[in-house]
Amino acid sequence: MRYEISLSIGYNYGALSDHARTLVHLLPSDLPGRQTVSSRLLTVDPMPNERRDTTDFFGNAMSVLAFHQPIDQIEFTLSASAERLAPAGSLDLSPRLSDLAADIAAYRSLDPAAPHHFLGASPRILQDPAIADFAASLRAPGSTVRQTVEAISNAVHAEMRFDPEATDVDTPAQEAFANRHGVCQDFSHITITALRSLGIPAGYVSGFLRTIPPPGQPRLEGADAMHAWVSAWCGSEAGWIEVDPTNACIVGADHITVAHGRDYADVAPVKGVLRTSGDQTSHHSVDVKPV
C-alpha cells in the first residue's frame, strides 16, 4: 500500500529560548522487505543555524538541529511518500518460549538488530512486579514465542482503556498499568515490559497509521497523531514481529515505521534541551492518505 504522509508539529515557548539544540526522529526510512520511502522532506521553521541529517545506532534517520539565536517558537513539517508491504505469511516459525534463551545466547553480535539490546532495563523500561505477574499469568505451557507475544499484546489491549487525557509522555509504564489507562505509548511500554519479563526481546516502534480506514473497517486508534507499537524478537528463524497492542493487531500494511529503539527515549520525535522558563504550548497533526 502506498501513502502520502503529512505531519506538522509545533511548539510555542512563553519566553525566548537560547541555544536550543534538538534531536529529531521524524523521517521514515527504507526497511528492506517492509517499507520503501520514495520521497521525504522535513522542513524546520525558523531555519536552524545547524542541521545534520544522520542515522542513529539503530539505523533510524536522525536530524541534529541547533539554533544560535534565541527562538520563541518552532515548527516541523514533514511530507513523505512511502510504500508499506504486508508481512509475508503468518506461518509461526518461532520456537517454544522455553527454547528462546538458547536462541538468544547463540546470537553473537551487537549489531542493531541483535536481540540483546531489547532485554533488561532501558531508560523508560524498568522491571515492574505487577506487569511481570500479569505476563506470567498469560504464559501458556508449550506455547511458542509468537503465540505469547500476540497473547500479551491482545491482553494489554483488553485490560487497558484508551484515554488520551489520562497520561503524558513522561508517565511511567507502571503507573499507566496500575491505572489501566493511557495512549499508544503506554500500551507499548507495558507490552514491552511484560515481554521482557518473560525473556522475550521487545522494542518500541514509532510511526504512522492510515487516517481513514479501508471501507468497512473501523478507524484505528491513534491515527490523528504519531503512533507507537511493539516489535518482538521471536527467535532466529522468525526474527522480528510487530504487534500493535493499542489496536490488538499484528502490524500490517496500515502502519508506516519512522523509528525503532528500546523504548520511547530512543525514538522521541522531538527531543530538545531548551533553556526557557516560560510555559510552552504545542500542536501536532498527522494525515496519512493511501494513493
Partner 1 sequence: MSGGAQQPGPEGLPSFLADYHVAPGVADELFDANGNMRPVWAGFIRQLSQLTPDQVTERFARGDQYLRDAGVFYRQYSADPLQEREWPLSHVPVILHASEWEDICAGLAQRAELLERVVADLYGPGQLVRDGHLPARLIAQNPEWHRPLVGIAPASGHFLHHIAFEIGRSPDGSWLVLGDRTQTPSGAGFALENRMATARIFSDPFSRTNVRRLAGFFRAFRNAMDALPGVAGRRVAVLSPGPGNDTYFEHTYIARYLGLPLLEGEDLIVKNGEVQVNTVSGPQPVGVLWRRLDAAYADPLELDETSRIGTPGLVDALRQSNVNIVNALGSGILETRVLLAFLPKIAEVVLGEPLRLPNIATWWCGQPAERDFVKQNADKMFIGDALSRALPFDIGSAAALAGEARNLQTNALPDWIDENAPNLVGQEAVTLSTTPCWVEGRMQPRPMSIRVFAARTPQGWVFLPGGYARVGRTGDATALSMQQGGSVADVWVMCDAPAAAETLFDRESFRREDTGALPSRAADNLYWLGRYVERTEGAIRLLRGYHLRLAETGDPADASLVEVGNLLGALFIDVTQPAHAAIAPALGAARVCAGKVRDRFSVDGWAALTDLVNSLEAMSGALQPGDESARALGVLLRKITGFNGLVHENMHRTSGWRFLTFGRAIERADAAAAVLAAAIPGEDPSSGLLDMALEYGDSRISHQRRYRIDPTRDTVADLLTLDVHNPRSILFQVSAMRKIAEDLPDAKVEGRVSDVLGVLLRLETELVVAHPDTVTLDCLHHVRASLAEASAALSAAYLV
Provide the binding-site residues for partner 1, judged by CB under 8 A. 19, 21, 23, 50, 52, 54, 56-58, 64, 66, 68, 104-105, 107-111, 114, 116-117, 119-121, 123, 265, 271-273
Rounded to a whole number of angstroms, the minimum distance from the CB of residue 53 to partner 1 is 12
Are the C-beta atoms of residues 275 and 69 closer than 8 Å to each other?
A: no
Nearest-approach distance from CB 127 to partner 1, in angstroms:
11
Contacts 24+ apart (CB under 8 A), 166-172: 169/264, 169/268, 172/124, 172/126
DSSP for residue 254: T
Name the residue with cell 524498568.
126
Q: Are 266 and 94 in contact (CB under 8 A)?
A: no
Burial class (CB in 10 A: 0-12, 13-18, 19+), 60: buried
**In the complex, least distance from residue 244 CB atom to partner 1, rounded to whole angstroms:** 25
Record the cell numbers describing residue 222, joined without a space. Answer: 491513534
Q: Report the alpha-carbon distance of residue 78 to residue 97 in Å, rounded.
A: 40
DSSP helix, strand, coil percent of the chain (3-state; round to 5): 25, 40, 40
By beta-carbon proximity to partner 1, the closer residue of 164 and 199 is: 199
- Sign of the four-CA dihedral 196, 198, 199, 200: negative
Give the nearer residue to partner 1 in terms of CB position, either 107 or 162.
107
Closer CB to partner 1, 228 or 270, in the complex: 270
Provide the 3-class DSSP secondary structure of residue 42.
strand
137 is written with which cell numbers?
499469568
Between residues 120 and 252, which has the closer beta carbon with respect to partner 1? 120
CB of 108 to partner 1, least distance (A): 5
Q: What's the min distance (Å) between Cβ of 117 and partner 1?
A: 5
For partner 1, the closer CB: 102 or 212: 102
119 or 149, CB closer to partner 1? 119
The residue (of 121 and 130) whose beta carbon lies closer to partner 1 is 121
Provide the minimum distance between the beta carbon of 181 and partner 1 in the complex, in angstroms, as a whole number: 25
Which residue type does 3 have?
Y
DSSP-assigned letters across all residues of 132-198: HHHHHHT--TT-BHHHHHHHHHHHHHHH-EE-TTT--TT--HHHHHHHTEE-HHHHHHHHHHHHHHT
Rounded-to-integer distance, Cα 196 and Cα 202, Å: 6
Residue with smaller CB distance to partner 1, 54 or 217: 54
Query: Measured from the CB of residue 158, what is the shortest distance to partner 1 in angstroms?
Result: 30
Least distance from partner 1 to the Cβ atom of residue 130, Å: 18
